[in-house]
């Protein structure tokens, strides 16, 4: 972003050259995804049940949905006949700390569908 601002300043002849051209940006460190080991699943679900949150945490576990996607779900997103959930919104905090529901970004622009299996 800073590079772009300086490029704009060079084009407008406000500065003779972009001082960021000689900079080497640090590599972004990617964190490996942490997966819950199978032997901890029972404890995880029991703890969520004690807090009255079992449906939400079970849904997270079996679908891989993110926290923001789960908290933005509405009953109208559930298609019980086809055993699917339509994911079109996610909850995000605004600068005031309030939760807002915003559209989920997808490549196709269509809501994601998550299949639910029956066991």
Q: What is the pLDDT of residue 118?
A: 57
CA-to-CA dists, residue 14 to 1, 52, 57, 68, angstroms:
17, 60, 55, 43
Q: What is the pLDDT of residue 14?
A: 93
The DSSP bridge partners found for residue 85 are: 78, 114
Question: Average pLDDT of 55-60?
Answer: 91
Provide the mean pLDDT of the chain: 87
58: tokens are: 């079970």
Each residue's pLDDT tens digit, 10-42: 999 999 999 998 888 888 888 888 888 999 999
Each residue's pLDDT tens digit, 105-114: 766 666 677 7
119 pLDDT higher than 60: no
Confidence of residue 50 (pLDDT cuts 50, 70, 90): very high
Q: What is the pLDDT of residue 108?
A: 64
Q: What is the pLDDT of residue 24?
A: 84
Confidence of residue 70 (pLDDT cuts 50, 70, 90): very high
């Amino acid at each position: 972003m800073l590079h772009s601002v300086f490029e704009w300043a060079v084009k407008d002849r406000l500065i003779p050259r972009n001082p960021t051209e000689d900079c080497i940006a640090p590599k972004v460190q990617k964190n490996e995804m942490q997966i819950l080991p199978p032997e901890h699943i029972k404890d995880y679900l029991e703890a969520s049940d004690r807090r009255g949150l079992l449906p939400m945490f079970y849904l997270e576990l079996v679908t891989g949905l993110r926290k923001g996607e789960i908290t933005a779900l509405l009953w109208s997103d559930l298609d019980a006949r086809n055993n699917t959930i339509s994911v079109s919104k996610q909850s995000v905090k605004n600068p005031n700390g309030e939760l807002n529901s915003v559209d989920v970004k997808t490549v196709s622009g269509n809501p994601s569908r998550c299949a639910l299996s029956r066991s």
